[in-house]
Amino acid sequence: MFEKLIPKESEKKILIIGLGQIGHSNAEYMTSLGLHVDGFDINKDAITRALKDKVIQKAATDFQGYDYYVVCISTHKPEDMFVPYLDGLVDIAKRLTYEGKTGALVGIDSTVTRGTTQEVKKILGHRLHVVHVPHRFFVHEKEEHGVRQVRVIGGCEPCCIKEGKNFYGNLLQIPLHQVSSPDIAELTKVVENSYRYLEIAFAEEIKMVCDNSSLNFDELRDAINTKWNIEVLDARDGIGGHCLPKDSQMFLDFSRNSVVTSMIRAAKMVDAQYRFHLTQRAAQEVPLARG
């Protein structure tokens, strides 16, 4: 009688799909743990960089034969980084339906809209397990706030969460906060970034009021922040990058039918107004009222 050989966890194979900032950092971390990591990306430069940095063993040409698929692709429109876009993720799920290994785990690290993780499971017919473990990566603090920091995990089914906790928790040693559904995990990330968006927009609003009243924003901010439970953020060049604008848009799209008045919508208008304010002041060469 044949005894089924169970590969040791360290011999299992990981495929990182999407080798940008998040995928590359994931690959670097997993490789540093001595795990077998391959990579896939539609961008040749991303693959070349990962190979050159030796964070992946090889560039995969298909999705066959992996135990863990970690999805790290961008989720904004290629031509407009402020607009959510999930077609790439759906295409990957469709490809996994015929190339993915039965019983393997699909971990979605990318930021996605509510319902996306369940949609991926539906496309896969639950032949593979699916969890969502949104990233909280901060490039300037890779040690404390890189791959290995407290992360939220939500799985489609109990077996999915079991596999997800084994991979992210045991194998990758990431401290996990488990939630009851992937929908909560999806919204956790989207709301975190919406919250941050609101905080920055409020700082921008105060800055505009100060500038238009000949008051020093920095001095006011310093004074306010002496209070133990308040931290007014700085107001800089407008809310950029692809994460905060896109993720707050995901929340706005989700909340559209639930609330009439949206603080996020107002914050987006404030940010647009602030950018205009900056260009106007630059054109008038008005020195910004700073300390």
User: Which residues of this protein are in contact with ligand NAD, per CB under 6 A?
Assistant: 17-23, 40-43, 46, 72-75, 88, 91-92, 110-111, 135, 137, 139, 243
The least distance separating ligand NAD from the CB of residue 70, rounded to whole angstroms, comes to: 11
CA distances from 189 to 109, 208, 240 (A): 10, 29, 17
Both tokens of residue 109?
């690290």
The least distance separating ligand NAD from the CB of residue 26, rounded to whole angstroms, comes to: 9
Cα separation of 47 and 20, whole Å? 9
The least distance separating ligand NAD from the CB of residue 72, rounded to whole angstroms, comes to: 5
The least distance separating ligand NAD from the CB of residue 196, rounded to whole angstroms, comes to: 11
Q: Which is nearer to ligand NAD, 190 or 206 (CB)?
A: 190
As beta bridge partners, residue 155 has 131
Q: Which is nearer to ligand NAD, 47 or 210 (CB)?
A: 47
- The phi-psi region of residue 214 (left if phi > 0; otherwise alpha if psi is between -120 and 50; otherwise beta) is left
As beta bridge partners, residue 37 has 14
Q: Which is nearer to ligand NAD, 93 or 210 (CB)?
A: 93
The least distance separating ligand NAD from the CB of residue 235, rounded to whole angstroms, comes to: 21
List b or e across 224-263, with b for residues whose CB sees 16 or more CB atoms inside 10 angstroms: eeeeeeeebeebeebbeebbbbbbbbbbbebbeeeeeeeb
Closest alpha carbon to 28 in 5, 50, 59, 11 = 50
The least distance separating ligand NAD from the CB of residue 96, rounded to whole angstroms, comes to: 12
Q: Which is nearer to ligand NAD, 182 or 207 (CB)?
A: 182
Query: Contact at 8 Å (CB) between 88 and 73?
Result: yes
Q: Which is nearer to ligand NAD, 21 or 149 (CB)?
A: 21
Q: Give the nearest residue (CB) to ligand NAD.
A: 20
The least distance separating ligand NAD from the CB of residue 107, rounded to whole angstroms, comes to: 12
Q: Strand 80-84 and strand 151-155: pairing?
A: unpaired
Q: Which is nearer to ligand NAD, 21 or 178 (CB)?
A: 21
Q: Which is nearer to ligand NAD, 76 or 268 (CB)?
A: 76
**Neighbouring residues of 44: CB distance < 8 A, sequence distance ≥ 6:** none
